[in-house]
Structures are given as C-alpha cells and as structure tokens.
Chains A and B, each alone.
Chain A
Amino acid sequence: MLSNKEIVSTLAMVQEENLDLRTVTVGISLYDCVSDDIGRFKAKIYEKIVRVAEQLVPACQRIERKYGIKVANKRVSISPIGVVGAPFSAADLVEVALTLDAAGERLGIDFIGGFTALVEKGMTHGDRALIEAIPEALARSRCVCSSVNVASTRAGINMDAINLMGQAVKKAAALTADHDGLAAAKLVVFANIPQDVPFMAGAYLGVGEPESVVSVGVSGPGVVKNAILRAIQSDGTIDLGRISEIIKQAAARLTRAGELVGREVAAILGLPFGIVDLSLAPTPNENDSVGEIFEAVGLPAIGAPGSTAFLALLNDAVKKGGAFASSNVGGLSGAFIPVCEDLTIASAAAQGDLVLEKLEAMTAVCSVGLDMVAIPGDTTPEMISAIIADEMAIGVINKKTTAARLIPVPGKKAGETVHFGGLLGEGPIMAVRRGAETNRFVKYGGRIPAPIQSLVN
C-alpha cells in the first residue's frame, strides 16, 4: 500500500518541482559504416542512424502520454567521428557533420553528439582533421555537438591538442559572431571523458560500448532544493549530515523514476538499456536551478565562501543516492554548474559574487567543469588554451571528469550579456584576468606527463 504522504510527495516531485527526463539518448555504433569513400561513408551513417533511432521520438511521446513526464530532449550519440572518419580530410569531415545534422533533422531530435576525437596521448591524422573541421562543422550545422578529450589521469595532458582546441573554440565563436558565438556552446573539451554520458555537448558512444543502447539523463535540481527546504522548515536542529541524507534520498527517488522510464523507452525501441545519469542539470527556469540549492542552505550566493564545501557535499550525496537506487548509474552523475544555463548562477556571475577563479575551484568538486562560461571576445586562443589546461589538470590529478565549454563572445566585453536561447540560456560575460595577452607557457606544447596516481597497476 502506498501511503498518502508518498503519493503527495511523488506528485510534487513530478508536477511542481520540475522532475524531467532531460534526455533520452540512443547510442549508435558506426564502426560497421567505415569506408574510405566519403560518399559511401556519408550514405551509410545516415542510413544507420535514421534506421536505428527512427522510433526514438514516437517512443518518447508514447512514454510522455503514459506517465505524464516530459522528455525534454531526444538525442543520438555516435561512435567518435575522429575514429570512424579517420581517412578523411577536414573538408570531408565538415560534410560528415552536415550529414549527421540532416539525420538529426529527419529524426526530429534535438542533438546528435559524437563529432568527437580522443586525443589525450596523441593525435592521428583523423583526429587532427576532425579538430580542424570543428569550427565550420558546428557553425554550419544545427544539432551536431562536438567533444574532444585532451587529457586523462592515465595519459596526462596533451598540450598540443589543447593548443589546437584554443584556436578551434575561438574560430567556432568567430564563425557564429551573429549569434554571440553559439557554435562554441556546442563544443566541449574534456579530461577523463565518460564513454556513456547522455548529456550534451559531451555525449558520444565510447569504444567499449554495445552496438546500440538507450541511456537516460535525469535532472531535477528543483526536487533537491524543495526537499532541503522542507527538511529545514520541519527540523530546527537539522545539520549538514542530515541535509546530505535528504539529498541522497531525493537523488535515489529521481534515479528510480528515470530508470523506470528509460527502460520502457528501451523496450519500445527493442534496444538494450544502458545507464541512467542523474545529474542536477539546470535549465534557465525558476525552480530548476542548481544555484537556488546553494541559497536554500543559507549561502548568500553561489560563489560566496562555503560554496565549494557545499558543492562537495551536494555532488557526493547525489552520487551516493544514485548508486543506491540503480546498478546502472553512469555518465557524469552529480551536480552541474553551468553559468548561462542556470538563472541563479548567471545572476551571481553578473553581480560579481561568482568569478571565474572561484568557479574553477568549485569544478574540483562538481561533476563536470567550466560549463557554458561566456568570456570576452578578445580573449586570445592561448589564454583559452590555458584555461582549458588548468581545468584539465584538476580532472587529471583528482581522477575525475572535468570539462571546459567556453564561449569567447565576439565583440563583447566582460559584464555584457549574451543570449543563446533554449536550454543554453543566457548570462553575463565573465572576466578573464589578463585574457587578451599572450601566454608563452601553453605554447611549449608537448604532453604534461601522467601523474604518479596513474601508476596503479
């Protein structure tokens, strides 16, 4: 028997607190599409993606009708194009991106991820071509997302790749100057990229993954915030240990709902279920903000002293709750702190409560990294590379995923506002100290060796 309290709290979670299935992502291997003929390759990947994911949107709509839970995004992730498209030139790979875009349009999905290279230890010809193709590929396509893994705890930090990525980020933004550098918002640089992440812009289907697989990303910062607020209101003696417990319980409940729905979608599509990624991923809406959780526990603003300590607690509790609820937890599973996608974080950045350096410190304990950070358009490619290198170092040393999604907004300065629209949101341009200068350090290139903690065998 369900108790009245269980019924009411579950309803509140779904109806009022913005529990949504942020994404259902179908992973599709493209290994059997390889060819050294660009026309043949394009035809094969288009056919396979459209065939395997044909029922994705109708299946999600069916689930929405059944459960009354919205599936916010429908996405496809594919094998890294840097691998399967290795024979091709940068110009060819731009054509591949446009083919992926056309497949995405045909399916009616929101994003397709996997315009990806894995170059933490070195670059193949295919990887170099892909990185060179990224700016134009993202500028000319709508739904294609790109990620490049430039570092790992086992391999170290590939500074040559990071130098190329600084230029790629800058160029991608420049090519979409009319839209505040939107193309750079679809590009993310990783350390320790997970192979099964369903969230964008980092989703791709890793090399150890199955032929095709359905994974889900569940969000719900509003659920966690309200659970904390209710607990604080009803218990005057509550402490942080108890608050951690409340977050764990909320995370477990969210994960359960996500896995239930994800498995049903997988069953409809006739594909295996992969993972559920419970990530507190905000949207630019009230009551769907990670920043609001910080305010709920009494911090004056996200970015104020104490923010890193609370984020550590939050990220850890979310992971523990998810791990208890499901044996199929994967991806990033934790708390995101994207600036432009979160009303409260964007507002804290606009008011100077949150600065880039504090944000970077917080990424040491969040589940991703410097996410959706708009920076001045005159930031040099070397300085962009240097910010990326700093962020990668945090991930490599701490054996965790970190990422950088930076948007150098053409023609705009620190303090001005950018508007990307949709889930990408809007926010202030954050200052980069000495950002317009050169940076000799990153230009040395080479590889920062893998840290001592990589020697675990």
Chain B
Amino acid sequence: MHKFVVSIFGADRPGILAAVAKAVSQKGCNIENVSQTLLQDVFGGLLVISAPDGAKPQDLEDALRADCAELNLFLHVAAPVSHETDAPKEKTSPYIVTAMGPDRQGIVADVSACLAAHGVNITNMQAIFKGGKKPLDNLMIFEVDVPVATQMETLRRGLQEVSTKLHLEINLQHRKIFEAVSSIDN
C-alpha cells in the first residue's frame, strides 16, 4: 500500500464528496484523511488515500475524471510531497494571529510575509471581508506555530509595523488563552 493525495476543486453542489469517495473506493483505495472547505461558492477538498500496490496516480485520476465528469471538477492525484529529513522537528508554540480592519490589496501578503520572516508557520488561515465596521466582518485569523527560539518581542514588533503600515489591528496571542476561556473542559 502507498499513499496518494487527491485534490478537488469545483462549484459547490450536493454529491461531490459522495461521487469522489465512491470512485476511490471502487479502485480499491481507502480514504485516510479528508479536509474540505467552502469558500463563497467554491468547494475545495484534499483527501489522503492509501492505494493498492502497483496503483498509479494518473490511472486513478483518469478514473475519477470519468466517474465525476458531470460534476465539472478540477481533479488531481499525486504522490504526497514531504520534506523528510533526519533533523529533529523544531519545537514550536501554538499562537493565533488576528488582523482586523478594512480590506485592501496586499494585507494577506504583508502579514504572512512578516510571519514567514520570523520562522512562523501558518497551520490554518481564514479571512472574512464583508465590509462595514463589525470586527467579525473584517477579520483574518492565522493559526500559527511559533518556534520556541523566536523572540516574542521581535515578532510582536514586526507585526506592529505591519499593523501601522496597513491600518489594521493585529494581535498575537497564545492559543492556550483562547482555549482556557472558551472551553468548559479544563
């Protein structure tokens, strides 16, 4: 058995995951992980599947295209790419970066560039821009891993500079705080 990654994009409608999952199953593959999301009306999904020995990504992709033809999807099947090294994984702490303020060109680029410059890895990100003044309507949330070696003052200063430049309110807060105050479990 070996693993493939299936990428799916398309206009959202009922039955996308059902059709893809059925086709995958018929090819003798097993779905290990799925992540799907809806962005406005666009469906996006990633599947990690285990395929029988001898299976080729291109064959599976062709089969999926045939079975899902009427859904008009972008489909791609590939072997997973990873940066496997012998070096131990760097220790990190989970933080959440939020940026609130009016939408303008380049804000995602500038905030993420600042994070990258400090070695911070974005593990999840959402951006909502609906206009108006409500904070929930103009919000970017970056869930990030900050290397323990990163100087927090330097990172905060870097984000502060971006904040001033783009007229955004940017906050960096440890994930534990959000969990402690938002969850009944303790």
Contact = CB atoms under 8 A, between A and B. Distances in A.
B180 A8 contact: no
B162 to A, nearest CB: 16
B96 A7 contact: yes
Contact of A4 (B126, B172, B175): B126
Contact of A66 (B96, B98, B141, B152): B152
B156 to A, nearest CB: 7
**Most chain B beta-carbon contacts within 10 A, residue among A15, A65, A66, A254:** A66
Nearest to B96: A7
Interface string B138-176: 010100000000001100100000000000000111111
Contacts of A238: none
B74 interface: no
Nearest to A63: B174
B171 A15 contact: yes
Contacts of A13: 181
A381 B96 CA distance: 56
A257 B173 contact: no
A256 interface: yes
**Most chain A beta-carbon contacts within 10 A, residue among B93, B171, B175, B177:** B177
Nearest to A256: B180
Contact of B171 (A2, A11, A259): A11
Q: Bin chain B's interface residue count.
A: 20 to 34
A5 interface: yes
Interface in A225-280: 253-254, 256-257, 259-260
B135 to A, nearest CB: 5
A299 B93 CA distance: 45
A201 B156 CA distance: 35
Nearest to A250: B181
Contact of B174 (A2, A8, A12, A67): A67
B152 to A, nearest CB: 5
A6 B182 contact: yes
Interface in A1-32: 2, 4-8, 10-15
A11 B176 contact: no
A21 to B, nearest CB: 12
Contact of B98 (A7, A259, A260, A325): A7
B153 A65 contact: yes
B180 A260 contact: yes
Nearest to B139: A4
Nearest to A261: B177
Interface in B101-122: none
**Most chain B beta-carbon contacts within 10 A, residue among A6, A8, A325:** A8
A70 to B, nearest CB: 13
A11 B177 CA distance: 9
A69 B172 CA distance: 11
Nearest to B124: A1
Contacts of A66: 93, 152, 174
Contact of A65 (B152, B177, B179): B152
Contact of B177 (A5, A8, A10, A325): A10
**Most chain A beta-carbon contacts within 10 A, residue among B136, B172, B180:** B180
Nearest to A62: B152
Given A14-B173, A66-B152, A68-B156, A4 B181 contact: no
Nearest to B176: A260
A289 to B, nearest CB: 22
A266 to B, nearest CB: 15
B82 interface: no
Contacts of A11: 98, 171, 173
Given A2-B96, A7-B96, A68-B172, A257 B136 contact: no
A254 B177 CA distance: 10
B137 to A, nearest CB: 10
Contacts of A65: 152-153
A48 B174 CA distance: 34
A183 B9 CA distance: 72
Contact of B186 (A8, A14, A256): A256
A4 B141 contact: yes
**Most chain A beta-carbon contacts within 10 A, residue among B93, B96, B178:** B178
Contacts of B180: 256-257, 259-260
14 contacts: A2-B179, A4-B126, A6-B178, A7-B141, A10-B178, A66-B152, A68-B174, A69-B177, A253-B181, A253-B182, A254-B181, A256-B186, A260-B176, A326-B186
Interface of B: 93, 96, 98, 100, 126, 128, 135-136, 139, 141, 152-153, 156, 171-182, 186
Interface of A: 2, 4-8, 10-15, 65-69, 253-254, 256-257, 259-260, 325-326
Given A11-B173, A68-B174, 11 more contacts: A2-B175, A4-B139, A8-B98, A8-B100, A15-B171, A66-B93, A67-B177, A257-B180, A257-B181, A260-B176, A326-B186
3 closest A-B pairs (Cβ-Cβ)?
A: A253-B181, A6-B182, A256-B180
